Amino acid sequence: MASAEVKAQSVVNAPVVSAQGSRLTLRQKEAIAGYIFILPAVLGFILWTAGPMLYSLWLSFHSWNLIQPPKWIGLGNFREMWNDRVFWASVRATLTYAAILVPLFQILAFSAALLLNTKTPGISFFRAAFYLPVVVPVAAASFLWQFIFNSEFGLLNYLLGKIGIGKIFWFQEPRFAMSAMIVMSLWLFGGTMVIYLAALQGVPEHLHEAAALDGASALRRLFVVTIPMMSPVIFFNCVLGVIGALQIFTQAFIITGGGPQHSTRFFSYFVYIRGFRDFKMGYASALSWVLFAFILLISLLIFRTLGRMVYYEEEGR
Amino acid sequence: MNNHASRFPNRHSRRSFLGGAAALGAGAAGVGIQLGDASAQDSTEISMMGWGSELEKQNVDNGLAAFQEQNPDITVDWIHIPVAEDQQVALKTAIAGGTAPDLFWSTPFRDFVALGAAMDVTEYLQADPVIGAPDYFLQPQEFERATVNDKWFGIGSCWVAPHIYYNADLLAEAGIDPPSSNPAEAWTFEEFKEYGRQLTFDADGRHPGDNGFDVDNVRQWGVSWPTFDIALAGAIYSNGGYTWGTDYTAGHGSPESIEAIQAIADLTNVDQIAPVPAVLSQMGTDWQALATGNVAIIVQGSWSLQDIAKLDFNYGCGVLPVFQEPATVLLAHSHCISSTTEHPDEAWRLLAYLSSDEYQLGLIQAGLWLPSHTSLLTPEGIASWMTEGVHPEGYDQLVTDYVANYGHNLFYPAGYAEANEMIVSALDPVWIGAQTAQEALVDSGVLDELSAHLQEQQALMADI
């Protein structure tokens, strides 16, 4: 066996003399082929992601209006941020949105997945119906929600009026505007729900049976079997949920324009406004790096805290 | 192997396929080069970047076709981007990338002047026998709009202005004479409010001020006065205030402006004759509410006439109600030439064409634009654009008298978007009655912040 391995190894390392006379081992040839295969992706990453990122890092220490050459201002953009009322408003709006949305979203998606994991007639219809909003373009959905939340002619105020609740100015009052944004986002829980549903179907049935034999109720089994077994998926969805929530853009861009009183001036939208409307590209770059650093920090924090609670079956922890 | 080859007699090897494709590509490129060379010998290609709805695009297409027929030595590459805001982003990106169009559209074009991206066209204008004539444009508004430090950096496409639209049937039912298009006979603001009260009623037919009037259950609103900068400016100027000064001051904090802003907010919160301003615009457009009878009178830009005219209802137009004096505001995008153009003469010829009556007429007839040339305000000129089924009775006087004599140029300072955002955001609580205009603008300190921003922008213009 050992000699066979040695033989195989020597074949791999054996020099191959090509027609041009170059001496490459099979391993080297495979390595070259491998590099060539990954080259498009690596080049794409360097040119279109890493390159612009590094350039924006350089720009974040400059003042640049896109036309005249960038001017070095050191930490000027970060100082401006500190004194910028709208910056703080956008931080507040984004954090409020993420803090409320992420737990609600995960609970809703998980609960829906639990309901849809039953063998009930017509369950396929409900699975499709819950997932459907995910395939509706956000821009189109935003116009729909605009109608639903219209305080004068909207569906929601009409229904609330039927139960005696007076007119609510959904997009005119800051607290209601934020609520409306969160409700709109919750509507898109279908994508996450499908991931939970897939994970639920992967929870071994024998664990449930064993727990049931020991007298565990359905609720008890949920907490001692289902949730621990699904913890990697819950963790994954939470991390993605936080990152996604911190990057919310479209609804505010289409519906509220960041108002009222900057209450929906979410960070990504703020970056866009400063960069592409006001043409303060240096400032927008600095803002982007602040967002990047913040997301990185939050992600690390989640890994350090929630990550420790995750059970990985194959690792036995 | 032979069998395989015989089954696919025309099968090419990879090498022959690639070789063939390369030859085909080279051949096609050669044809392209030849075609390009042939056309290049005859004409100069210039590019123009603008925006517009399908209607506007069609008009530009027609105009450019006519221009190219009259100027066979010029070919125009028309870069159309549907939404104005997107066009401004694309334009700036193109300038940054060194691919600026030869000619571009912009409403707040001073941003581009400040960056050195717009060409001074004063000499071209003065040398032009037609549009260089001192009485060609409606003045002094055009000069105020198009110049920076007395130099022309663009020429306005047209004018648009806010005025009243009304649902004639609803007014007739209420026994109210419609508002006039003659500024001398304009309603006072008090009359406007009283008629608005008579036209507003709830599900039980009660009007604001009546016992038991249910503001949460209004069947028909009397009026709607939107609060975007243009409509709001109409009220402010009529009360003797101003919005943006040519000296880079913001006039929103003056007592006259504050009073006008508060009066507009009170239409909703005190008088209860108007819905919350943003509500109708959220529905898409308030003129749809006008057509369906949800509101009887709206203040809206003249550009809405082209859409209103397509709806099947009996409408009319009038001048804005008067606070202290008849007034409206005038604005529209300008056509500018890039400072980096390699074909300034050709670009000027296109700009001159875009400033001609011939080009302007199409969209005036459709109800999208108002004329900015004095030649279109004469009886013959009016006859050339008044269109039955679009312009209601009296609309000519609204243009020749109201716009020409009472229209103030709405000045757009450099850095306008950021400046306006400060005002818009500060006024948000005013429209729902959570703050007064005085508290929101003056007491909040936002005007100081605004002033600093405007001073910074003005400094950029000093060396122009």
Same domain, A119 and A49: no
Asked whether residue A89 falls in the same domain as residue A171, the answer is yes
pTM over 0.90: no
More confident call, A144 vs A17 = A144
B33: region left, alpha or beta (phi > 0 left; psi from -120 to 50 alpha): alpha
Same-domain pairing of A40 and A89: no
Residue B4 has pLDDT above 60, yes or no: no
Model confidence at A122, pLDDT cuts 50, 70, 90, reads confident
The mean pLDDT of chain A is 87
Before A260, cis peptide (omega within 30)? yes
Instruction: Say if residue B203 is in the same domain as residue B299.
Output: yes
Kindly report, residue by residue over B47-103, the tens digit of the pLDDT.
999 998 888 898 899 999 999 999 999 999 999 999 888 898 899 889 888 899 999
Nearest CA among B289, B262, B16, B296 for reference residue B176:
B296
Question: Under an 8 A CB cutoff, do B96 and A261 touch?
Answer: no
Asked whether residue B19 is domain-assigned, the answer is no
Average pLDDT taken over every residue of chain B: 89
Kindly state whether residue B238 falls inside one of the protein's structural domains. Answer: yes
As for how many domains chain B has, the answer is 2
Regarding whether A132 and A280 lie in a shared domain, the answer is yes
The minimum CA-CA distance between A233 and chain B, rounded to whole Å, is: 39
**Both A50 and A116 in a single domain?**
no
The per-residue pLDDT for range A26-79, each reduced to its tens digit, is 999 999 999 999 999 999 999 999 999 999 999 999 999 888 889 999 999 999
* Contact A175/B at CB under 8 A: no
Residue A74 is encoded by which pair of tokens? 């050191």
Residue B240 placed within a domain = yes
Residue B190 lies in a domain: yes
Nearest to A259 among B92, B428, B434 (CB): B428
Helix (H) or strand (E) holding A71: strand A71-72
Distance CA B89, CA B108 (A): 13
Chain A partners within 8 Å of B449 (Cβ): 85
Residue B235 sits in the same domain as residue B136: no
**Band of residue A20 on the pLDDT scale cut at 50, 70, 90:** low
Q: Are residues B337 and B324 in the same domain?
A: no
- Residues of chain B contacting residue A255, judged by C-beta atoms under 8 Å apart: 282
Mean pLDDT of the region A140-166: 86
pLDDT in tens, B254-265: 999 999 999 999
Picking from A66, A167, A255, the nearest residue to B216 by CB comes out as: A167
How many whole angstroms separate alpha carbon A58 and alpha carbon A74? 10
Best residue of B269, B428, B431 to probe chain A, by most A CBs closer than 10 Å? B428
- Interface predicted TM-score (ipTM): 0.76
Query: Residue length, chain B?
Result: 464
Identify whether A242 is part of a domain.
yes
User: Is there a single domain that holds both residue A219 and residue A181?
Assistant: yes
A71 part of a folded domain: no
- B2 band by pLDDT with thresholds 50, 70 and 90: very low
Residue among A62, A67, A155 with most chain B CBs within 10 A, to mutate = A67
Q: Are residues B315 and B367 in the same domain?
A: no
For the segment B400-426, the average pLDDT, to the nearest whole number, is 94
B316 with B419, same domain? yes
User: Is residue A68 one of the residues assigned to a domain?
Assistant: no
DSSP state letters, A38-50? HHHHHHHHIIIII
Are A175 and A295 in the same domain? yes
Confidence of residue A168 (pLDDT cuts 50, 70, 90): confident
Do B312 and B180 reside in the same domain of the chain? yes
Cβ <8 Å between B275 and A152: yes
Average pLDDT (A95-99) is 95
Judged by a CB distance cut-off of 8 A, whether residue A66 touches chain B is: yes
- pLDDT score of A162 more than 90: no
Residue B406 lies in a domain: no
A224 plus A98 within the same structural domain:
yes
By residue range, what is the domain housing residue B442? 162-330+415-461
Residue B449 in this model has a pLDDT that exceeds 80: yes
Enumerate the residues of chain B whose CB falls inside 8 A of the CB of residue A66.
92-93, 95-96
Tokens of A172: 């005119």
| Contact predicate B317/B188, CB 8 Å | no
- Looking at residue A292, what is its pLDDT? 94
Statement to judge: residues A308 and A258 lie in one domain: yes
Q: Are A9 and A81 in a shared domain? A: no
A170 in a structural domain: yes
Would you say residue A197 has pLDDT above 70? Answer: yes
Residues above pLDDT 70, as percent of chain B:
89
Query: Is residue B178 located within the same domain as residue B318?
Result: yes
Report CB contact under 8 Å: B294, A153. Answer: yes
pLDDT of residue A147 exceeding 70, the answer is yes
Is residue B365 pLDDT above 80, yes or no?
A: yes
A28 plus A134 within the same structural domain: no
**Strand, coil or helix: A151:** coil
Same domain flag for B342 and B428: no
Per-residue model confidence as pLDDT tens digits over B154-189: 999 999 999 999 999 999 999 999 999 999 999 999
User: What is residue B126's predicted lDDT score, i.e. its pLDDT?
Assistant: 95
Judge whether residue B10 has pLDDT over 50: no
Cβ neighbors of A298 (< 8 A, separation 6 or more) are A242, A246
- Can you give the C-alpha Rg of chain B in angstroms? 27
Question: Which of B202, B283, B290, B425 is best to mutate for the A interface (most A CBs within 10 A)?
Answer: B425
A277, B417: Cβ pair inside 8 Å? yes
Are B264 and B201 contained in the same domain?
yes
Q: Are A13 and A88 in the same domain?
A: no
Please report which confidence band the pLDDT of residue B146 belongs to, taking 50, 70 and 90 as the band edges: very high
Indicate if the pLDDT at residue A19 is higher than 70. no
pLDDT bucket at B403, cuts 50 / 70 / 90: very high
- CATH number at B443 reads 3.40.190.10
Do residue A276 and residue B95 have CB atoms under 8 angstroms apart? Answer: no
More confident residue, A76 or A150: A76
pLDDT at B438 over 70: yes
Chain B interface, Cβ < 8 Å to A:
85, 88-89, 92-93, 95-96, 111, 115-117, 216-217, 275-276, 278-280, 282-283, 294, 415, 417-418, 421, 424-425, 428-429, 431-432, 434, 449
Which of residues B183 and A141 earns the better pLDDT score?
B183
Domains: count for chain A: 2
In a domain, A64, yes or no: no
pLDDT of the residue at A121: 83
Domain assignment present for A230 = yes
Domain presence at residue A232 = yes
pLDDT of residue B419: 95
CATH number of the domain at A128, please: 1.10.3720.10
Q: Domain range for residue A297?
A: 77-315
Percent of chain B with pLDDT over 90: 78
- Cα–Cα distance for residue pair B139/B143, rounded to 1 Å: 7
Residues B432 and B382 in one domain: no
In a domain, B136, yes or no: yes
Q: Which of these ranges, A32-46, A217-231, A297-311, B8-22, has the smallest mean pLDDT?
A: B8-22
* A167 in a structural domain: yes
Residues B143 and B205 in one domain: no
pLDDT of residue A316: 53
Of B276, B418, B425, the CB nearest to A278: B418
Q: Examine the domain organization and report whether B172 and B264 are in the same domain.
A: yes
Q: Mean of the pLDDT values across residues B397-408?
A: 95
